[in-house]
Amino acid sequence: MSKLSILVYPDQRLRRVAQPVTEFNEQLKQLVTDMAETMYAAAGIGLAAVQVNVSQRVVVMDLSAGKNSLQVFINPELSELKGSAESEEGCLSVPGVVATVERAQTVKINAQDVTGRRFEMNADEMLSICIQHEIDHLNGKVFVDYLSRLKQHRIRKKLGGKKLSKESRAAVSVAAA
């Protein structure tokens, strides 16, 4: 296992649109393992492959209190987006920033597991918000994009070119995805 480094906004590599996974092999399993380790080490609740500079449609997530319930979504797609809900979001790629974002309240997720098996599930609350946030990453989008231009400017000024220590990043990313 190895920990991967997380790209920090406004890194342009976060803008790349990830490619669908077509090979469900050992390399994919290793990527998922490494992404999970990276997410847990950073005390995040979700991570998309784009954030670790891998242009593939892979998401890991763990919304459990005990951090013992890893969820893996390969090639995830959403349908049946219903309602709207505002919540406070953070992101491992935008350390130290939390902001209110409006998203669909409930969604249906279609995805594959690490072996390629297809599954679907209905998501609400945290899972719904988090999967929408992560699929945005796979499409080159960051939650900062939903904020006002002024807020975006402030965040770029705060994070641009500045490297945060691992400790401070972990401290501010308690609910980051």
Which residues bind to Ni ion, rule: CB under 5 A?
91, 177
Residue number with the smallest Cβ distance to Ni ion: 91
Task: Return the number of the residue (22 or 76) whose C-beta is nearest Ni ion.
Answer: 76
CA distance 72 to 61: 6
Task: Return the number of the residue (116 or 126) whose C-beta is nearest Ni ion.
Answer: 126
Residues of the chain by 3-state class (helix, strand, coil), percent to 5: 35, 25, 40
Task: Return the number of the residue (159 or 177) whose C-beta is nearest Ni ion.
Answer: 177
Q: Is 85 helix (H, G, I), strand (E, B) or coil?
A: strand
Residue 18 Cβ, how far from Ni ion at the closest point, in Å? 13
Concerning whether 86 is annotated as a catalytic residue, the answer is no
CA distance 31 to 153: 33
Interacting residues of 108 by C-beta distance below 8 A, sequence separation 6+:
78, 79, 80, 120, 121, 122, 123
Residue 8 Cβ, how far from Ni ion at the closest point, in Å? 11
- Among candidate residues 23, 26, 80, 134, the one labeled active-site is 134
In one letter, which amino acid is 47? L
| Rg of the chain (C-alpha set) | 15
Residue 92 Cβ, how far from Ni ion at the closest point, in Å? 6
Catalytic site residues?
134
